[in-house]
Chain A
Amino acid sequence: MTNTDSEVLIKVVDLHKSFGELDVLKGVNTEIHKGEVVSLMGPSGGGKSTFLRCLNLLEKPEKGSVFFEGEDITKIKKQKDLDKIRQKIGMVFQQFNVFPHLTALENITITMTLEKKIPKAEADKIAMDLLEKVGIPDKAEEYPGKLSGGQKQRLAIVRAMAMEPDVMLFDEPTSALDPEMVKEVLMVIKQLADSGMTCVIVTHEMGFIKEVSDRILFIDEGIILEQGTPEEIFNNPKSDRVKDFLGKVLY
């Protein structure tokens, strides 16, 4: 755990979220440090994705706080201020959510030009460099309908990167992919993590979690049941619930 001494980027305090009668998060507390790669593990419906979506307020928590770079973003009143914060929190979705009516290049540049007022030529150049980095510069003028799932997800990743975020959130980024496309997407995420990007990742790819994470949070029934290094969680889990879970998912 090399990064725990560095600056706290995100601090979550007593986070509660429910959907109607269903309490999904029941008091989550944690700190995510700059440069840290944190993976969320646990059974489906345990609250991993909801937790992730609370970090950029796609879900509004009922109770508790999310501090981003020292500011409690749950207290932000002005929509514009929240938009500015969200530009610094990149998110990648299970279903890619690339914009089908825009070319790959436009998918990346549209928010840069609209919200950051970056001149089009400059935005195009940044976008081309990013497409180059993930190996699809030849798809710049293509619409997403012509891209494979893996290419769409790589596009979605660099679309978020173009906003120069301080943290990237990955919500099951490979769960909707054909098996042979999983690796190309994981490699891009790994590259990002290795480059020092702070990452919070929800995934069921156990091998990947083990390799890439600085810290694993095991989330079940709306709380962090256990946390530790991959070593600690995989080789020496404390709670029976984690042992049970790992016993079922590891082949």
Chain B
Amino acid sequence: MGPGIIDVFKQYYPIFLKGAVGTLKFAAIAVGLGSILGTLIGFIHLSKNKVLSGAAGLYSTVIRGTPLLVQMYIAYYFIPMAIPALSFLSKEQCVMMSLILNSSAYVSEIIRGGIASVDIGQTEAARSLGMSAGHTMTRIVLPQALKAILPSLGNEYVSMVKETSLAGSFAMYELTFTKTLLANKYLIWQPLFIIAAIYLVMTVVLSGLIRIFERRLSAGDKH
């Protein structure tokens, strides 16, 4: 069996911590850029232009309908080879890109769904008053859509922390990858539990933070 879990953690904690930092970095970049891109795609999906809207819908269907791991393989092996213009991307950037694109597809659906959840009567009332389309979106629809969007977005952020574990399969230094590092030292099972525990701590803490944030928001909203 070898040494116990606690002993392994005590001896190698810098490796795990570095892995955890890597995970948080991957997740933050994926979620950050993914949210910006996803918001854009969500709005395009809602646009009246059938071609653009269809393209955005197809994008989110394809990305959400295929495994992230497969997407990562494609980004890692195929993209740099097939598109020479993108060959300047490092291996890490390729993996990062697939995480961002994946996150953006889920975010785009959350944004689209949130906006679609607002009663069309709200838009009709605003437009009938002579409010511009832009103001109707920013002042009437979006504030109401946010109620549906924020909780789902929070869930998406939490799951992205876990999804980044797949990057370890491409030798990216993140939490799950530490198991590979320690396997060289004949530590097979102990790191798995340490890794799982650290993920659990991160997702629980993140969920808690999101819940506090949501409560703050709904406290400021008196209707």
A positions within 8 Å CB-CB of B? 56, 58, 79-80, 83-91, 93, 95, 97-101, 110-111, 114-115, 143-146, 156, 159-160, 163
Contacts and interface: CB of A to CB of B under 8 A. Distances in A.
A101 B223 contact: yes
Contacts of A144: 223
B221 A111 contact: no
Given A58-B124, A101-B144, A101-B223, A83 B119 contact: no
Given A93-B125, A95-B121, A86 B130 contact: yes
A10 B122 CA distance: 26
A213 B151 CA distance: 50
Contact of B128 (A89, A99, A146): A89
Contacts of B221: 101
B40 interface: no
Given A79-B133, A84-B130, 16 more contacts: A58-B127, A83-B127, A85-B130, A86-B128, A95-B119, A97-B119, A100-B223, A101-B143, A101-B221, A101-B223, A114-B135, A115-B129, A115-B132, A143-B223, A144-B223, A163-B129
Nearest to A108: B129
A85 B131 CA distance: 11
A145 B127 CA distance: 22
A93 B121 contact: yes
B139 A97 contact: no
Given A143-B222, A144-B223, A97 B127 contact: no
B129 A160 contact: yes
Interface in B201-223: 221-223
A115 to B, nearest CB: 6
Most buried by A among B124, B128, B133, B135: B128
B127 A159 contact: no
B29 to A, nearest CB: 32
A159 B131 CA distance: 12
A80 B132 contact: yes
Nearest to B130: A87
B144 A111 contact: no
Q: Which 9 A-B pairs have the closest CB atoms?
A: A87-B130, A143-B223, A97-B125, A91-B128, A97-B121, A86-B130, A145-B223, A111-B129, A83-B130
Nearest to A88: B130
Contact of A111 (B126, B143, B223): B126
Nearest to B222: A143
Contacts of A159: 129
Given A114-B139, A144-B223, A99 B125 contact: yes
B121 to A, nearest CB: 4
Contact of B144 (A85, A86, A93, A100): A100
Contacts of A91: 125, 128
9 contacts: A58-B124, A83-B127, A84-B130, A86-B130, A91-B125, A101-B221, A111-B131, A143-B222, A163-B129
Given A110-B139, A143-B223, A97 B124 contact: yes
Contacts of A88: 130
B15 interface: no
B71 to A, nearest CB: 38
Contacts of B128: 56, 58, 86, 89-91, 160
Nearest to B124: A58
A115 B132 CA distance: 8
Nearest to B147: A101
B140 interface: yes
Contacts of A114: 131-132, 135, 139
